[in-house]
């Protein structure tokens, strides 16, 4: 049951992350657009990329939640801690190093005519100076929800 | 059993949500019309869009009830408060990510900032939090979705 709880948390947590990211963009704290960033890795047309990217982000959120569940993360505190580690990895490795390696339409690779999105840069600072803090906060929120829901399911 | 009770809550919740939105519209608090918005996705005829949209909107309300039921079953928790919290998230996501990201892809009869003057889209784009439909729209939308979620959560807790 813990796994199902974690997955339910992954679904809700992913929605909270997109919402938080939208609010931050609206408040001009960042230029981070998760659906566009993920979707343009697969599709070239912006509207299609955004819709597909939204689905992809949900899938990524569910996959990480399954990993949290498999690692036995249960409880709000444990979840928050796991989210902090996850966020630190996202800020230092996942976005700045791994994503540009697999993303075919990032400004870093090839000519500018093929590029649709800017590379995140070290600590994702290319999308705004608050990005490291924002990503940490969003991942802690995500982890807290995943861990909390898994804890409920385990109880 | 939790699925049946959640669906009962979703049916009641959809009625309450639709009525709240209609009331908000009649009181001139908002120009948002979700059934019409959904209906114009499948037909360009305004009258048919209203009818079809109402059916699709009701079906979506029941479908979301199943998603809520899944969350309640997975966590072993339900209740008015938990349902209301999910409803608030539901309303906020509908007002942000759905209208900003999914709608431009799925809806061909809604205008955009780039719509030229000779074109005649059936609907104005909602904008962030559907603010283009009136300043109070986000509040009406949030209240209606919280009521929906609370009903689904509350009735789902009757199953345990």
For residue A153, give how far its alpha carbon lies from the nearest alpha carbon of chain B (Å): 4
Q: Which region, left, alpha or beta, applies to residue A75 given φ > 0 means left and ψ of -120 to 50 means alpha?
A: left
d(CA B33, CA B24): 10
Identify all chain A residues contacting B106, using CB atoms and an 8 Å cutoff. 51
pLDDT at B121 over 80: no
Q: What's the pLDDT band for A106 if we cut at 50, 70, 90?
A: confident
Mean pLDDT of B3-18: 95
Identify the pLDDT of residue B109.
83
For A13, how many CA atoms within 13 A lie in the half-sphere containing its CB? Answer: 33
Write down the mean pLDDT value for chain B: 90
Q: Which candidate in A7, A8, A46, A147 is best for mutational testing of the B interface (most B CBs within 10 A)?
A: A8
pLDDT digits (tens, 9 = 90+) for B46-63: 899 999 999 999 999 999
Identify the pLDDT of residue A117.
87
ipTM of the complex as predicted? 0.88
Pick from B109, B97, B121, B135: nearest CA to B40: B109
Write down the mean pLDDT value for chain A: 92
* A106 strand-pairing partners: A117
Which range, of A25-39, A70-84, B108-122, averages the lowest pLDDT?
A: B108-122
Which helix (H) or strand (E) element contains residue B41? none
Global pTM? Answer: 0.91
Spatial contact of A114 and A105, defined as CB atoms under 8 Å apart:
yes
Identify the pLDDT of residue B102.
80
The reply to whether residue A149 touches residue B75, judged by beta carbons under 8 angstroms, is yes
d(CA B75, CA A83): 19
Which range, of A24-33, A36-45, B94-103, averages the lowest pLDDT?
A: B94-103
Q: Which whole-number Å values give the CA distances from B132 to A5, B36, B139, B149, in the listed order?
A: 38, 16, 13, 25
Check if B76 contacts A (Cβ < 8 Å).
Answer: yes
Which residue is closest to B68 within chain A, CA to CA? Answer: A8
């Amino acid at each position: 049951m813990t796994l199902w709880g974690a997955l339910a948390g992954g679904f809700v947590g992913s929605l909270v992350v997109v919402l938080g990211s939208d609010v931050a963009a609206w408040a001009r704290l960042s230029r981070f657009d998760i659906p566009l960033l993920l979707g343009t890795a697969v599709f070239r047309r912006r509207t299609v990329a955004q819709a597909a990217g939204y689905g992809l982000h949900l899938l990524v959120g569910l996959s990480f939640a399954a990993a949290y569940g498999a690692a036995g993360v249960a409880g709000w505190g444990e979840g928050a801690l796991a989210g902090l580690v996850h966020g630190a990895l996202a800020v230092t490795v996942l976005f700045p190093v791994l994503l540009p390696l697999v993303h075919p339409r990032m400004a870093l690779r090839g000519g500018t005519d093929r590029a649709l999105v800017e590379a995140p840069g070290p600590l994702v600072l290319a999308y705004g100076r608050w990005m490291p803090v924002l990503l940490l906060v969003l991942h802690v929120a995500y982890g807290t929800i995943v861990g909390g829901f898994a804890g409920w399911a385990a109880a | 059993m939790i699925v049946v009770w959640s669906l009962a809550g979703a049916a009641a919740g959809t009625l309450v949500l639709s009525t709240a939105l209609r009331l908000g519209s009649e009181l001139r608090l908002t120009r948002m019309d979700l059934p019409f918005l959904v209906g114009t996705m499948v037909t360009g005829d305004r009258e048919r869009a209203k009818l079809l949209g109402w059916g699709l909107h009701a079906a979506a309300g029941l479908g979301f009830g199943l998603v809520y039921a899944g969350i309640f079953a997975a966590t072993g928790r339900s209740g008015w408060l938990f349902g209301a919290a999910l409803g608030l998230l539901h309303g906020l996501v509908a007002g942000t990510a759905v209208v900003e990201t999914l709608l431009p892809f799925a809806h061909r009869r809604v205008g955009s900032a780039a719509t030229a003057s000779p074109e005649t889209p059936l609907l104005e784009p909602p904008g962030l939090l559907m603010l283009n439909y009136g300043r109070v729209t986000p509040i009406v939308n949030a209240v209606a979705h919280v009521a929906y979620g609370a009903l689904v959560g509350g009735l789902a807790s009757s199953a345990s």
